[in-house]
Amino acid sequence: MDKGRALLLPARCQVATAGSQPSGQRHAGLGLAMQTLVEAVAYFSMLDCKGRLWDIHYLQARLHHTLGQTPQCNKCDKLFHLLELQAPGAAVAMRL
């Protein structure tokens, strides 16, 4: 859990610092953040931390959208929504 959280923090920092960079460097910074997030997903998947995975898939979808990578964006969006449907309150909301 600690390793996954330790990877998520620098990924968020990489995204934040990439925002103030010129276009070419911004894409490189966001790509580095994506690599860090992929590694964090591996750790949180082993522990079945759905809340953390939900956050990461949302962030990945946003990054892929920013980078213009539509198929990867759609894949992460689908994973995000699948985890959203598995949330404890989802069954109640689906019945209403």
- For position 22, what pLDDT does the model report? 86
pLDDT, tens only, 53-78 = 989 999 999 999 988 999 999 999 99
Domain boundaries, the chain: 2-95
CB under 8 A, 24+ apart: contacts of 3-10: 3/43, 4/40, 4/43, 4/44, 4/47, 4/49, 4/52, 5/52, 7/36, 7/37, 7/39, 7/40, 7/43, 8/36, 8/37, 8/40, 8/52, 8/55, 8/56, 10/36
Per-residue pLDDT, averaged over 13-36, amounts to 88
Q: How confident is the model at residue 95 (pLDDT cuts 50, 70, 90)?
A: very low
